[in-house]
Structure 1
Amino acid sequence: MKFALLIFAAGLALVEPHGYVHTPLSRTSIFRRPNEFPGAQQPFWWDDTGVWCGNVQQNQQYSTCGRCGDAPGNTHANQGGRYDKGIITGTYNAGQAITVTVEFTANHRGGFMFELCPQVSENNNCFQRLNINSADRGVRDNNWACSGGDHQNGLTRAVVQLPAGVRCTRCTLRWTYRTSYPPAPDACWQPNNTQTFRNCVDIRIN
């Protein structure tokens, strides 16, 4: 019995937090809706809930995380990379408050933010942090949404404010989920190096 409990505990310790941007659909999740986006062609990032900086724990500057969640040194998820299908998954208006939905499949607390690269040509320096007007599981400092408690999986929504006066035929919305794993006393924020997920989403702003 003790041996079985040890195996169970070890299994819990290895559970990894996973998630992806559900709406508008992230660049690395296009394969999930073939009827909606029939032009998408392989290769696909099949493990799209594990776009997590190569499982390298990140500091607050995300120093070794790829622009769109790749492992350090890789650019597959970036605009122009092998998983970029050039498909717009959301169309909005300048200054609109948009509802973004994230799906957590193994939630380990922490929180997330959204940034916008308001130009057609994506690069590492173009992202601007967006305000979050509200979120299902709480907001801090106007731009940080809490992911909820351990095992609080499923869909969670955040209302994100797009800037006024910004229009683009294609620009990049980026989600960064900073878990609280390894565990931190604050369920919404981990100040130390931690598991981090990133998704980029191709949108249009009229």
Structure 2
Amino acid sequence: MRLLVAVQIISSIFWHLLLIITFAASVFSHARVWSPPGRATAWRLGFNTTANYDDTGLNCGGFDRQHTKNKGKCGVCGDAYDIATPRPHELGGLYGDGVIVANYTSGQIIDITVEITAFHMGYWYFKLCPKPEAELKQTCFDQFPLELENGGFYYFPEYGGNFTVKYRLPEDLVCEHCVLQWRYVAGNNWGHCDDGTDGMGCGKQETFGSCSDISIHPSNDKGTGKTGKDLDNSMKGVAWKLLGTKYRIYNN
């Protein structure tokens, strides 16, 4: 009898510990963009930006806040939608310093590194807004979805950890200051599918977001791959106005 009671107690303790560990992982760890680093993460790589120690937790305010209070809406950079603008991770917000963290050229194949600290299945995608002053409008980002090197726009991670994925920048877009938006839509909730069935990953899901500040130079500009800390300012101002009609030019 005593043995049975002891087994039950141990079993109860085990399951409670498992629940605590699972809950802690889900609350304190999720995902972030390391390269080019998001506004919440850039400080970890030495950029002079405001530190956000919870940079893996930009989940639109959480599932209930996003889908119940805000009817599925999310701030463009991962903040809760109902926060007054500029939200913390938008330009002018607490973490929206606007520091350029990477410099690319139009049409370049670039590496983007994402870290998943707590795997929630699902998929992610990236979009660009070439006019920072318009970043509060999702329509700006929707015009420039970022394509994977081999085609398509959605990347489906199969486990947690670090992922370096190749993307192709638009051939005809240059900007002194672009905003790169990341959206990670989890797939670990059960919901109603489009085909009328129910299943894991269907329906409403937790969503994560991030914004990175980058620069895209014309493709004939050599010396690419520099970070914002080494960025040569010679392309700013009048130089951007002399490129002719080959490119869609922003930030003049």
User: Normalization by structure 2: what TM-score?
Assistant: 0.68
**Are 1:23 and 2:8 an aligned pair?**
no
SS at match of 1:8: helix
Tell me the CA shift for residue 64 of structure 1: 1.8
SS at match of 1:48: coil
Choose 87-96 or 121-130, whichever is displaced more.
Answer: 121-130
The structure that is helix-richer by fraction is 2
Which structure: larger Rg?
A: 2
Aligned residues: 188
Q: Which residue of 1 aligns with 2:118?
A: 106
User: What does 1:1-206 correspond to in 2, within 5 Å?
Assistant: 1-11=10-20, 13-14=22-23, 15-16=25-26, 18-34=30-46, 37=47, 39-40=48-49, 42=50, 44-56=51-63, 63-74=72-83, 75-121=87-133, 122-124=135-137, 125-127=139-141, 128-134=144-150, 142-148=152-158, 152-182=159-189, 190-206=201-217
User: Does 1 or 2 have the higher relative contact order (CA < 8 Å, sep 6+)?
Assistant: 1
SS at match of 2:188: coil
Q: Which residue of 2 aligns with 1:138?
A: none
CA distance in 2 between counterparts of 1:160 and 1:182 reads: 28
Tell me the CA shift for residue 13 of structure 1: 4.4
Q: Per-residue CA shift, 1:76-125, capped at 9, x if unaligned?
A: 11122111112111110011111100011111211100111122322312
Tell me the CA shift for residue 159 of structure 1: 1.0
Does the CA-based 8 Å contact 1:77-1:84 persist in structure 2? Answer: yes
Does the CA-based 8 Å contact 1:120-1:169 persist in structure 2? Answer: no
Does the CA-based 8 Å contact 1:27-1:201 persist in structure 2? Answer: yes
CA distance in 2 between counterparts of 1:183 and 1:102 reads: 25
Tell me the CA shift for residue 12 of structure 1: 5.0
SS at match of 1:142: coil
SS at match of 1:11: helix
Across the aligned residues of Structure 1 and Structure 2, the Cα RMSD in angstroms comes to 2.4
Q: Which amino acid aligns with 2:207?
A: T
Does the CA-based 8 Å contact 2:61-2:79 persist in structure 1? Answer: yes
SS at match of 1:50: coil
SS at match of 1:54: coil
The structure that is strand-richer by fraction is 1
Q: Which amino acid aligns with 1:52?
A: N
Q: Which amino acid aligns with 1:205?
A: I
User: Normalization by structure 1: what TM-score?
Assistant: 0.82
Give the unaligned 5+ runs of structure 1.
Answer: 135-140
CA distance in 2 between counterparts of 1:76 and 1:99 reads: 26
